[in-house]
Homo-oligomer: A and B are copies of this chain.
């Protein structure tokens, strides 16, 4: 329980909000490939303590399978707080990309506790506004960017989130499959693969095995993504 206590993301509340948060949080560990079953009767805030996960929609499969998921909404890594709202039509669920430790807070209970601690509440609000912002940025991508631009942007953002590097060279292991990447960017697996090939031929990316990726020129890649330098012609769409 000690480590669980340590995992709770807010430890500095005035009258020790953290202890009370512990009381409403449920610790879970998931093996790679396993899903956290959605609970249609409660909204949740999920804190990711270790590992990486994908947030998917409309997973038709049972709770512990790697089966094809049609829609990857976001990838999440250690330290993230993910909001998983109950949903009437689609069901949203977290699936572990690597072995995963997380703490599940029923949204209402969490907020009831946090209500007495403005600092915590504000922190969660700030995080969720950031998540909203990321989501909008991604939306912009999905709506208006080419396959090449999407993949380039994806790699740049992974360099930042996994590789910890924002320019120059960078090497890291992608925890997600080509299919996951495609599902998150709105591309087919074959298209993802072809884009990797082209970027490899262009000398911007090197790969090793299924997951190791080396970016040789992040700046150039960001340029490809159309994020840094806007092309003179409005890109598309």
A positions within 8 Å CB-CB of B: 43, 57-58, 68, 70-71, 73-74, 83, 85, 87-90, 92, 107, 111, 115-116, 118-119, 121-122, 124-126, 128-133, 135-140, 142-144, 183-188, 227-228, 230-232, 234-235, 237
List chain B residues, Cβ under 8 A from A138: 139
List chain B residues, Cβ under 8 A from A118: 115-116, 118, 121
Copy number in this complex? 2
Q: Which are the 7 A-B pairs with shortest beta-carbon distances?
A: A143-B186, A89-B228, A142-B142, A115-B118, A135-B135, A132-B132, A125-B125
List chain B residues, Cβ under 8 A from A71: 140, 143-144
16 further A-B pairs in the complex, CB-CB below 8 A; given A88-B228, A125-B128, A139-B139:
A70-B235, A83-B129, A83-B132, A87-B133, A88-B231, A89-B227, A89-B235, A90-B228, A92-B136, A111-B125, A115-B121, A116-B118, A118-B121, A143-B183, A144-B186, A188-B237
